[in-house]
Amino acid sequence: MFSARIRAASWCTDMKLMIIESPGKVKKLSAILGDDWKIAASVGHVRDLPTREMGVAAPDFKPQYEMTERGAEVIAKLKGYVKQADVVYLATDPDREGESISWHLQQCLKLSNPLRVTFNEITPSAVKAALVKPRSIDVKLVAAQEARRVLDRLVGYSVSGELQRQTGERLSAGRVQSPAVRLVVERERQIRAFKVTNHFGASLIFADAKTSSEWATEWLTKPKFVTDDSPYFMDRTFAAAVADVKAVVVSSFVESEAKRSPPAPFTTSTMQQAASVALSLDPKAAMDAAQKLYEQGHITYHRTDNPNVSDESLGDIFAVAVKLGLDMADKPRKFKASEGAQVGHPAITPTHWEVEEAGETPEQRALYKLIRLRAIACQLADARYAVRTVRLNAAQPVNGRDVEFEGKGRTLIYSGWLKLIAGDQTQEEEEADSSNPIPVLQPGERLDVLRGNLLEKKTKAPGRYTQASLVAKLESEGIGRPATYAAIMDNIVSRAYVKTDKKFLVPTATGELIVDSLVGHFEFIDLGFTREIETDLDRIANGAAGYKAVISRVDDKLQRELSTLQVSAPPKHPCPECGKPLRRIPGKSGHFWGCTGHPVCSVTLPDEGGKPGQRKPVETSAHACGTCGKPLIHRFKKGKAGYDFWGCSGFKDGCKTSYPNKGGVPDLTKAK
C-alpha cells in the first residue's frame, strides 16, 4: 500500500513534503533530497496539556490538548504546505516523543494517509532507505508517551498543590524529579551523620637486589585481625609492631596475565557521564552539543539505551583500524544493555567513520572525538597485563600472632584498545596501572625488609553526587529515560532544590523540605515504585498493557494518599483566623504571608526568617465609634493611592462605620 503511494507520487510533479521536528535538520535534508522536496519543521510539539488546569480526569483520563502559541503558528504554515504537497512524510525523531509529535501533526493537519519514516542518522543512504519503507504511526508508542505525560501532570498538579498547602511555599513535585532530589538529600544526610573512624595498617618495602628498584606489600588484616562486622583495626601499638617486622618468608608467588576489555560505545547516559568527566559539560550542554552533531549529519541518533553498534558499522570500524594500524578483537563484541533498556536504535556513533573532526564549536568537536574514538575502540583487541602476586609471612610472630602480607604488581604488556583512547571513561571505569615492580620470587625464599611503614587511616564519608554520577544512579535504578536526564538535572538546579558546589550537588533547604514533605506520604517518591511505572510505560509501548489501566492504578493510589494526608496532616502554617494554610508571597518590600482563604479571609502576617511572624498590634484610640461604641483606629497611607480616615475596630464583627480625619482626630459629625 505504502509503496503504491510512493510510486504514484513519482508520477506527479507536485511537491513532496517532509515534516521534521528540528529546524536544524532542514538544510542537511534539503541538500540530500533535492528541489522536489519541501522540508518543514514542527519545532517540537504543537499541542500540549493546558497550562492553567489539569487537562485530564478520571475515569477515561483522555487528555484535553490545546494548541501552543507557537504551535498554532506552525500549523497554519504547515497547512499551506500540505495543500501544495502531493504526498506528506512525517519524519520526526525515531523515539516515543517523535512518534507522538507525528500523531499530533496528523490530527491537527487532518492527514488521512501520512507516511511515517524514521532514520537514525541524517545521511543520504539512511534517509533514502527510510523513504522506501514508510509505515503508519505506531499508536502504541504514542500511548506510551501520552501515559508518561499524563502521569507527570497528575503527580505535578495534585501533589504540588498539597506541598504548597503543607508548607506555604510555592513548591513543585515531579514523578521523576522528586526521587532525584531525594537521592541528593539522602546522600547529604549520610555525609552529615558520618563519623570518622581512625584505624591502622602496615606496609613493608623491599629492594630488588638486581635492579635496586623498590616494591611494596601490605599487611593482610583480614580475616585474622578484622571481620566484616568489625572491619577496622584499632590497635596502633600492634600495627606499629607489624611495621617493624625485619624479615619475611615467601609463602606463594603467582605470575598470570590479565585482560581489560574496552568500554561499550556511548548510550545517552554514558555519553553524558563521559562528557562531564572528560569535558566538564553538564548533561544539558552535552545533549545540546549532541543534538547539533546529529542535525549536521555527523552522528547517529543520540537518544538511545543501546550499547551496541549496528552490524553495518563493523566494516567501517575495521577499515579505520587497518588505517591506524590497530588490532581488532577476535570476534565482534556485544555489550549487555541495562535492564529495561530501549534498544531500537544503535549506540551513538559517527556517521562517517573516517572523519576525525566534526562540529561547529569546540564543545561539539570535543564531544564528536569522544564519540568516534569510543565507538572505534569497542571492537578493538583487549589490553593485556602481566600480573604478579606474592604472599609473605613474617619470619617471626608479632606479639605471639602470625601476620601475612600481600603485594600485587601489574604491567601493561599490550596496549590493544588503550592505544586509541584514554581519558574519556566515567569515574567508575577508570583503572590505574600498578607500578609495583615485584621481582620473580620462590616459595620458601627469605627476604629482608628495607623499611616498614605504619599506615594511619581514616574512613571517608560517601561522596556527593555530581550531575554525571546522579544520572548514572538514576539509570541504574531504572528511573527516567535517556531523553529525560538532562531536563531533570536542569530542573532541580534551576528551581533551587539542589545547588552546585564546585561540581558537586548539594540540597538546599527547599529541596530537603520537599523530600521531608513527600517521604512516607507518597509512593512515587520511592525508587522502586518509580521503576515500576517505567516498566509499565514500556509495556504500553509493546502492547502488553493498556493506557487506561496503567493510569488508573497510579491515580487511584495517588488520590488515596492525598486524601489520607489532607486528613492526617494539618498545614504547617495555619491561618490564626480560619485555619486554612498560609502562603508565603513576594511583595514590593519583601515576602509576607497571606491566607489561602482570600478574599473571604484577608489575614496577612510579616515574614520572619521564612516563617510567619506575629501581627503588629493594632493601636486603638480613646475615640469611640458612634455606632457600636468600640474604639476607633487611625488608618492612613501616603502616596497617590493613600488614604487618611478613622475606622471602627469592630469591622470584623460587622461594623463598617468610618470618619474623616480632621486635624489628627476623627470628625465624629460626618460618619460614613
Characterise 334 by phi-psi region: left (phi > 0), alpha (psi -120 to 50), beta (else): beta
The per-residue pLDDT for 568 is 67
Cell of 23: 529546524
Q: Is the pLDDT of residue 99 over 70?
A: yes
CB-based burial label for 600 (10 Å; 0-12, 13-18, 19+): exposed
pLDDT reported for residue 428: 43
The pTM for the full model equals 0.80
Tell me the pLDDT tens digit for each residue of 225-257. Answer: 999 899 999 999 999 999 999 999 999 999 999
Question: What would the pLDDT profile of 601-655 be if each residue is shown by its tens digit?
Answer: 878 888 887 788 887 777 778 899 988 889 999 988 887 778 899 899 888 788 9
By the 8 A CB rule, do 64 and 49 touch?
yes
CA distances from residue 148 to 5, 141, 174, 550, 558 in whole angstroms, order as listed: 34, 11, 12, 10, 15
Calculate the alpha carbon distances from 7 to 3, 10, 12, 17, 351 in Å.
6, 5, 9, 15, 29
pLDDT at 572 over 90: no
Residue type, position 522, single letter: F
pLDDT, one tens digit per residue, over 456-507 is 999 999 999 999 899 999 988 888 877 788 889 999 999 999 999 988 999 9
Q: Is 558 left (phi over 0), alpha (psi -120 to 50) or beta?
A: alpha
pLDDT digits (tens, 9 = 90+) for 393-422: 999 999 999 999 999 999 999 999 999 986
Note whether 248 and 215 are within 8 A (CB).
no
Pairing status of strand 247-260 against strand 504-507? unpaired
- Cα–Cα distance measured from residue 642 to residue 414, given in angstroms and rounded to the nearest whole number: 85
Q: What is the dihedral of CA 452, 445, 435, 370, to 10 degrees?
A: -130
Q: Determine how many CB atoms are found less than 10 A away from the CB of residue 43.
A: 16
Give the pLDDT mean for 278-296: 93
Distance in angstroms (rounded) separating the CA atoms of residues 218 and 248: 12
Share of the chain above pLDDT 70, in %: 95
Q: Residue 7 pLDDT > 70, yes or no?
A: no
- Averaged pLDDT, 112-124: 93
Examine residue 571 and say whether the peptide bond preceding it is cis (omega within 30 degrees of 0).
no
Q: According to the model, what pLDDT value does residue 179 have?
A: 95
Percent of the chain scored above 90 by pLDDT? 68
Written as one letter, the residue type at 72 is A
* Lowest mean pLDDT segment, chosen from 153-167, 269-283, 603-617: 603-617
Lowest mean pLDDT among 160-169, 357-366, 372-381, 630-639: 160-169
Please say if the pLDDT value at position 438 is more than 90. yes
CA angle 651, 653, 659 (to 5 degrees): 25
| pLDDT score of 303 more than 80 | yes
pLDDT at 341 over 80: no
Whole-number Cα distances in Å, 98 to 121, 296, 606, 626: 14, 18, 49, 73
C-alpha cell at 592: 509576607
Looking at 89, 301, 385, 497, which residue is catalytic? 301
Res 563: pLDDT: 86
Is the previous residue joined to 114 through a cis bond, with omega within 30 degrees of 0?
A: no
pLDDT on residue 3: 41
- List beta partners, residue 255: 388
What single DSSP character describes residue 593? E
Q: State yes or no: pLDDT of 11 exceeds 70.
A: no
384, 403, 404: which is closest to 252 by C-alpha? Answer: 404
Q: What residues does 492 pair with on adjacent strands? A: none
To the nearest 10 degrees (0 to 180), the angle between helices 547-568 and 139-167 is 0
Strand-pair category, 383-394 with 247-260: antiparallel
Q: What pLDDT does 5 receive?
A: 42
For residue 427, what pLDDT is reported?
44
Rounded to whole angstroms, what are the CA distances from 181 to 30, 144, 435, 512, 548?
43, 25, 41, 8, 29
User: Does 301 participate in catalysis according to the annotation?
Assistant: yes
Report the pLDDT value the prediction gives residue 594, as an integer from 0 to 100: 86
Containing 485, the helix (H) or strand (E) segment is helix 482-494
- Can you give 505-528 as a three-state secondary structure string? EEECHHHHHHHHHHCCCCHHHCHH
**In this structure, what DSSP letter does residue 449 have?**
-
Question: By C-alpha distance, which of 617, 614, 627, 668 is closest to 646?
Answer: 668
Residue at 305: amino acid letter? D
Top mean-pLDDT range of 277-286, 441-450, 639-648: 441-450
The mean predicted confidence, pLDDT, of the chain is 90
Give the DSSP letter of residue 668.
T
Q: Which residues pair with 126 in a beta bridge?
A: none
Least confident range from 9-13, 160-164, 183-187: namely: 9-13
| Half-sphere exposure for 667 (CA within 13 Å, toward CB) | 10
**Grid cell in block for residue 469:** 554520577
**Phi/psi of residue 146, nearest 5 degrees:** -65, -40
Contact yes or no for 61/158 (Cβ under 8 A): no
Model confidence at 211, in pLDDT bands (50, 70, 90)? confident
| Dihedral (CA of 405, 235, 245, 459) sign | positive
Of 65-74, 137-146, 635-644, least confident by mean pLDDT is 635-644
Mean pLDDT of 101-119: 95
Residue 37 has pLDDT above 80, yes or no: yes
- C-alpha cell recorded at residue 248: 619475611
User: From CA 50, how far away is CA 57, in angstroms rounded?
Assistant: 13
**pLDDT computed for residue 340 by the predictor:** 64
pLDDT at 424: 52
State yes or no: pLDDT of 6 exceeds 80.
no
pLDDT at 429 > cutoff 60:
no
β-sheet bridge partners, residue 40:
19
Helix H or strand E encompassing 214: strand 214-219
